[in-house]
A and B are shown apart, each in its own frame.
Chain A
Amino acid sequence: GNSVTQMEGPVTLSEEAFLTINCTYTATGYPSLFWYVQYPGEGLQLLLKATKADDKGSNKGFEATYRKETTSFHLEKGSVQVSDSAVYFCALSGLNSGGYQKVTFGIGTKLQVIP
């Protein structure tokens, strides 16, 4: 079946540091890939997505590139802010054996940015 692997964290960075959160996946076919962000006490928000190989998703200074050759979708940001502190989920969307769209989530990586 489909699976997503990401570092659990927590990741602690100083403000303005460079961020990388690794994500690798296993899937059949051609899944879409996503990063979601969850701020404390809230639901998940879609941060960015990529639907085919070599696509780059970007939003709010974050970006991730769909690498089919390495089955990866690493999240990066050049300069983090305290307001970026949250839990980040990597996810993929593909069809299951029943023919419906299923999203598989990673375990989530907690990011803490300190001033």
Chain B
Amino acid sequence: EAGVTQFPSHSVIEKGQTVTLRCDPISGHDNLYWYRRVMGKEIKFLLHFVKESKQDESGMPNNRFLAERTGGTYSTLKVQPAELEDSGVYFCASSQVGGLLASGANVLTFGAGSRLTVL
């Protein structure tokens, strides 16, 4: 089974430019999450999709960030215009329908991340 794939693995852009990150979740996983880790700090939640709907976008930093999941398959996260503080590693993760195991826990499968460097 293919895992969660993210593209690009690394992107270097200048302040003010636009970058679009893509995530392909595990096939059949309705839950898709975006997280971000900045400079070795905690991994922060950005948003959660259930299929194509945004279930929770409380972690999105500001309106320069736009996430989409058209058709409920892959997702994109666009940063426009990018600022220096947007640099970090953006992780995508997915989990099964309802996200709950028999134990009632949501176990996520992560992609390798997209490292964004804004100069």
> Are A and B bound to each other?
no
